[in-house]
Amino acid sequence: MSPSLLLKFLYGLLLASGEVVLIAAQSHGGGDEEVLVELKRFLVANNRFNRGGYDGWQESDPSPCGWWGIGCDGNGRVESLNLTGSAISGPAFGSFSRLSALTSLDLSCNSITGPLPDGDLNQCHGLLHLNFSHNLITESLNVTGLTRLQVLDVLGNRLQGSVAVNFPAICADLTLLDLSTNNLTDNITKLLDSCQAGIPTKLTNCRRLRFLDISTNKFGGDMQEIFGNFTILKYLVLHDNNYTGGIVASGVLRLPLLARLDLSFNEFTGEPPSRGVRYEEPQVPNARREQLLRQDTSGVRPANQAPSAGPV
């Protein structure tokens, strides 16, 4: 073999062995540790004082699976990242999608500011649980690339305008949707209509949704019939919006499993409905259901009465 051919052969072996080493490292989560180290450096740079448990992550450790807030699967891949209450401030990290086995991301109860990195988050195709609640996140929300979500919680931020979610993909498994205490204005019917799967005004695809909270936003008009189609809802929380009517027509008073219905501090007029309501096999006694209704519709006011100042 000529020297030039020998060199080419050896070079090819080196390339092949390098690829094998890279693949092996990735399969054992080596790439995950690199991302987490980058995350730690990003957080340390933006949080010079009062850091959370992530500050104890040691790069010299053989695996990140023992690190605070990190959960791994049986193959040593990072599948959950929980940095709730970690005194994180500043912008959100923009490379979560490189944790390709990630199924749960919880950054709640921090002070993250600015918009979410939609481009990166929408590449986290395996996410089942996304929680950014109780932060300072602004602008609109777009998570249309997350097609396996079971829990979406963005409660208590500064989101404005619209929410874009791939409901046709996630309706079958969605169990919790909390958009409350933001500044959202889109019509909720427009948001959820894509769940209909061709069956007019029926949302049978959302068969697991048990908790729906869109309170303290700017949704308005009549309550839509869409709410009455979530037949296994236990909690429906719509307080502090601008709804003006449709309590009976929406069908929410006939939801059979409802344990909490909160319609307070909207713009309803007249007396809250307490008679002529048919309960179909209720799981809560009728008297209790009516008591909940009277209590939670305290924002319903007689016509021509000034709006309530809100809860104290």
**Is residue 190 over pLDDT 70?**
no
How does residue 229 score in pLDDT terms, banded at 50, 70 and 90?
confident
Of the chain, the percentage scoring pLDDT greater than 70 comes to: 70
Question: What is the chain's mean pLDDT, rounded?
Answer: 79
Can you give the pLDDT at residue 310?
Answer: 35
CA pair distance 284, 287, nearest whole angstrom: 8
- Token pair recorded at residue 110: 């921090």
Can you give the pLDDT at residue 293?
Answer: 45
How far, in whole angstroms, is CA 157 from its chain's centroid?
12
Residue 181 and residue 203 in contact, taking contact as beta carbons nearer than 8 Å: no
The tens digit of pLDDT for each residue in 136-147 reads: 999 999 999 999
Residue 110 and residue 131 in contact, taking contact as beta carbons nearer than 8 Å: no
CA pair distance 137, 112, nearest whole angstrom: 6
Lowest-confidence segment of 75-84, 183-192, 253-262 by average pLDDT:
183-192
CA pair distance 137, 158, nearest whole angstrom: 5
Of the chain, the percentage scoring pLDDT greater than 90 comes to: 46
CA pair distance 53, 40, nearest whole angstrom: 10
How far apart are the two ends of the chain, measured CA to CA in Å? 88
Can you give the pLDDT at residue 312?
Answer: 28
Residue range 9-29: mean pLDDT, rounded: 46
Q: Are strands 151-153 and 129-131 parallel, antiparallel or unpaired?
A: parallel
How does residue 192 score in pLDDT terms, banded at 50, 70 and 90?
low
- Transcribe 15-44 into DSSP letters: HHHHHHHHHHHHHTTHHHHHHHHHHHHHHH
Can you give the pLDDT at residue 187?
Answer: 63
How does residue 193 score in pLDDT terms, banded at 50, 70 and 90?
low
CA pair distance 255, 246, nearest whole angstrom: 15
- Transcribe 150-183 into DSSP letters: SEEE--SSEEEEEEEE-HHHHTTT--EEE--SSE
Q: What CATH number labels 9-296?
A: 3.80.10.10
